[in-house]
Amino acid sequence: MGWSNQVERNLEAIEYEKDGEIDKAIKLYEENIAEDFEGTYPYERLAEIYLQADQEKDLIRVLEKALVVFEGAELSDCQYKHTQLERFKEMYKNFTTTLENI
């Protein structure tokens, strides 16, 4: 599946979210992350959706997937990917630390 199809999927998922059809949006975002989509949007949206729904296991799974997808990014390679990797690492650390303290 090409980048443009994944972007289209994200756009369709955004519309589903606007219409309150969260399950349909989740399905599309999940398809993108299953294909190692290299943009942050589906990871961010799924993390937010799962956080709001108290679905900790799914939230951790999505953050771990983002870490895998962006882990090869180095500062010299691509500033954007490196920045996103650091942000996902911080989100993962904060969330798992919070869970450990509960």
Query: For the chain, which residues make up each domain, given as ranges?
Result: 3-100
- The beta strands (E) that lie in the chain are given as none
% of the chain exceeding 70 in pLDDT: 85
Residue 75, pLDDT above cutoff 50: no
Q: Distance from first CA to last CA of the chain, Å, rounded? A: 40
Cβ contacts of residue 9 below 8 Å, gap of 6+? 28, 29, 31, 32
Q: What is the pTM of this model?
A: 0.82
Q: Residues 6 or more apart from 62 whose CB is under 8 A from it?
A: 33, 43, 46, 47, 50
The CATH code belonging to domain 3-100 is 1.25.40.10
> Average pLDDT in the 44-65 region?
94
Binned at pLDDT 50, 70 and 90, residue 25 comes out as very high
Grade residue 76 by pLDDT with cuts at 50, 70 and 90.
Answer: very low
Across 27-53, average pLDDT: 94
Taking the CB of residue 68, how many other CB atoms lie within 10 A of it?
A: 12
Residue 82 has pLDDT above 70, yes or no: no
